[in-house]
Structure 1
Amino acid sequence: MSGQRAQSVVAFGGGHGLHASLRALRRLVDDLTVDELTAIVTVADNGGSSGRLRGEFGVLPPGDLRMALAALCGDDEWGTTWSKVLQHRFAGEGDMRGHVVGNLLIVGLWELLGDHVDALDRVGRLLGAKGRVLPMALTPMDITAEVRGADDTITVVRGQVEVATTDGVIVGIALDPPDPEPCPESVAAVEEADWVVLGPGSWFTSVIPHLMVPEMRDALVRTDARVIVVLNLVEQAGETPGFGPADHLAVLAEHAPDLKVHTVLADRASVGEDLAELADLVAATGAELVVDDVAEHPGSPRHDPALLAAAYARILERG
């Protein structure tokens, strides 16, 4: 996996975190550092337009898939226009209020073609996307979480939206069904990748769920690809209140103790005084810690695509 040739990258996640990571990785496709980019997306959303379409048609929730496709659009007029079209949300007061154009397009193609992957590939070609978008599984599913309350009692919360906004401390998650049908193309992409990127994103509802799909987890464990874990910049109310950088990594290790991590990427300002603790934890796993400037600004919850792209490029170059 020499840095002297273009390499294949598979990025895992969902929502805004994966969108940011893909916008960064798309730049490496443009400069030929990456020749094959695949996004594998969480499909457990039960809220908003996605939740409504899932409930009415029994399909996978399209929202996070749509966001990933939009992130892979080019910066030319064609790409920026289609990215805006894909992300356009209807206003008004009628039944269409809140629905998103891209969600309707994806679900329409699923109904027409009867094939999740073919439909997503066709949307990607329409957009001129700089990569491929795949679901992590082909079965609609729910996330459940065990949550510890203030009185130390454990309750079970069901649904991605509910888990993301819960009170209390999440101590573990599961999928229902526990063995969803994997997407074969997603499993193959992991097995053939040079690099795998986990995060950033909502830790319990966008990142860890990938490791709960048995065949996907097996593929991640046995792949020769080098795994990069990108830590979040801030704690997330509901999911990770009070979490520091080391806490995110510790939770990942608890849910996937057999996953071998090559590199942990953290933002310099976000790490702050937690650097020593994080460095010790990363060293104990045998991984390399890379601390870089990847936030839009110190204290920002969002990654800067250009800075994140530069950090990815340096990691891939070192190999």
Structure 2
Amino acid sequence: MKGFLRWFKSGAKMKRWVVIILIGVTLCCYGMMKILTGKELEFMELARIITVFVMGFVLLIVGIISIQKRTLELLVAESDKRNSPKDTDVKSLIFNKKVYNQGPKIVAIGGGTGLNSVLKGLKHYTDNITAIVTVSDYGEQVSDSRKMLETMPLDDIKQSLIALSANEDAMAGILNYKFNTGKLKALSFGDIYLLGMKELYGDFAESIKQSKEVLNITGKVLPVTLEEIKICAELEDGTIIENREKIEEEVTSRISKINRIFINPTSCKPAPGVLEAIAEADAIVIGPGSLYTNVIPNLLVKGVTKAIKESKAFKIYVSNLMTEPGQTDTYSLSDHIKAIKEHVGEGVIEYCIYDNGDIIPEFIRKYNMEGQDLVEIDVSKAKAEGVNLMQRDISCVTDGYVRHNPDAIAASIIQLICDDLKFNDMQNNTQYMILNDKLKDAKKSLKQDQKARPKTNNKTPRGKSKFYQKYQERIKSIQEAEIKEKEREKKRNMPKRGRKKKEETKIEIKPLR
């Protein structure tokens, strides 16, 4: 009974057709009754009764057809949550589904919350998304679930599956659930599921690929390699760090920047489907995310960088909003681009999307206290790197944290693809028309969000806040103190050596006199 009543809830648009059917049935019954019970009917009376009966019959047919049509609309709409509220007719809903299936092929490379922001936005425009994800632990401590099941690191893979799902909250609850009792205690359901899929299909790459159908997600997720990789760093002072978790700690304690990142094993091969996805892509999105632990390591896997350089796709780098302690302290936009180029060379970045929106100072100070600041936008230096810059308002505040706006990033990427279609005189292409229409809706929504956002009087240049300057002064004072300490040690050692030499010379000279 409850299920039946749901058809009559507000917004279902069913009640009007039920009323029309009831009116039609009433008029038909009235007409039939008059014809069957009437003894002698005048022509005008008979014509009136027949007219009432025909009207009732027409209303009955229209009501039945409309209910069937509306039922189909609800079923199609429920099967895909990405449809716009204005897309309420069957033709547009089915047509949109076809466009999603034939949408642009986009590859997103990275890991962590940055990659998930890109995926959340892109899934509203196309089904052809491939997320290429880092396969590395976040530290020395391996989870109990991983130890018992003996699986490769799956955290970033699970988060990407969640980002591409229709119901993110429900999927997060399922994949991140940990059993509390029995033999399965401390085991993650997500790890058990992916291990079971691996046993069924033979390897992790295929099992994750098949999860698209099982979990009803948009696009697919691929590990960058089937081997567990160790992310290592070499600092400017020559120190080698072989643990991802220790990089921040060592950089901060030694006050020495990262010179280069490398992976171990160095000869690991990309997972099946990775190079093919890159070769077929219309756009390749790198970042945002931790530069040295989520972005660059993926590019160091054998064959990945070469495939990106040879691809005809748009190569887009989405810049980070904030610097990261122990990795990108004091880094500007151009420094991020340079770091990628120094590791993989030219030809990997053609476009760079960076943020030009205003962020409320109170949120910035929260990051400043942890040694972070807004990435300084040095446009002239970034342009000198041979990259096309795209300034967009791509930041937002979520749960008190400064995050990338998924819708704004996706709109920027799709706009680039639409501009290319327009440049090639493909304005009449169905893909262009639908994507362009969705972009207009997205831009309207983004403008409304920007108007609702509190205005800020923060005129401080990006990356030059008072907290940033204090942090810089502290670093400089520590470095100066270390230099002075080294000089003192040299002075302490020098007099001792001088005395020995003087004593030796005295002993040698005396006999000559």
TM-score by length of structure 2 reads 0.54
User: Quick check: 1:233–1:300 contact (8 Å CA) kept in 2?
Assistant: no
Shift of 1:81: 2.0
Choose between structure 1 and 2: higher strand proportion: 1
2:406 aligns with 305
Higher alpha-carbon Rg: 2
1:159 aligns with 2:259: no
Instruction: Confirm or deny that 1:180 pairs with 2:268.
Output: yes
- Give distance in 1, aligned partners of 2:375 and 2:318: 18
The residue number in structure 2 matching 1:42 is 134
Q: Is the 8 A contact 1:73 1:83 kept in 2?
A: no
User: How far is the alpha carbon of 1:113 from its aligned partner?
Assistant: 3.2
Amino acid at match of 1:203: L
Q: CA deviation at 1:109?
A: 2.3
Rate the CA distance shift 1:166–1:269 in 2: closer, same or farther, 3 A.
Answer: farther
1:287 corresponds to which residue? 387
Show the 5 A alignment for 1:167-206: 167-168=251-252, 169-206=257-294
Cα distance in 2 for residues equivalent to 1:312 and 1:6: 13
**Whose helix fraction is larger, Structure 1's or Structure 2's?**
2
Cα distance per residue 1:245-299 (max 9 Å; x no partner): 2221111111122334221000114898943x2x223323332101111111499
What is the deviation of 1:176? Answer: 0.6
Identity %: 28
Query: 1:81-130 CA deviation, whole Å, 9 max, x = no partner?
Result: 223312335578x9844x54323321332244321122102322222111
Instruction: With the length of structure 1 as denominator, give the TM-score of the two structures.
Output: 0.84
Local SS of the residue matching 1:309 = helix
Is the contact made by 1:74 and 1:80 (CA closer than 8 Å) also made in structure 2? Answer: no
| Cα pair distance change 1:317/1:166, threshold 3 Å | farther
1:83 aligns with 2:172: yes
2:51 alignment partner in structure 1? none
3-state SS of 2:233 partner = strand
Give the secondary-structure state (helix, strand or coil) at the position aligned to 1:266. Answer: strand
Inter-partner Cα distance in structure 2 for 1:161 and 1:174: 14
User: Partner of 1:251 in structure 2?
Assistant: 339
When residues 280 and 307 of structure 1 are mapped into structure 2, their CA distance, relative to the original with a 3 A threshold, is same
Output the amino acid matched with 1:66: K
Matched, 1:117 2:201: no
Report what 1:318 is aligned to: 419
Distance 1:114 1:74 in 2: 27
* Cα distance in structure 2, aligned partners of 1:91 and 1:301: 33
Change (3 A) 1:159 1:272: closer
Distance in 2, matches of 1:220 and 1:70, equals: 26
SS in 1 for 2:330: coil
**Contact kept in structure 1, 2:130 and 2:277, CA below 8 Å:** yes
Report if aligned partners of 1:51, 1:61 keep a CA contact under 8 Å in 2: no
Q: Relative to 1, partners in 2 of residues 1:67 and 1:300: Cα closer, same or farther, differing over 3 Å?
A: same
The one-letter amino acid of 2:241's match is: V
For structure 2, the residue ranges without an aligned partner over 5 or more in a row are: 1-101, 359-372, 421-513
User: Where does residue 13 of structure 1 map in the other structure?
Assistant: 110
Q: CA deviation at 1:178?
A: 0.3
Compute the displacement of 1:21 (Å). 1.1
- What is the match of residue 219 of structure 2? 131
Alpha-carbon offset, residue 237 of structure 1: 1.8
Equivalent residue, structure 2, for 1:23: 120
| Count of residues in Structure 1 that have an aligned counterpart in Structure 2 | 300
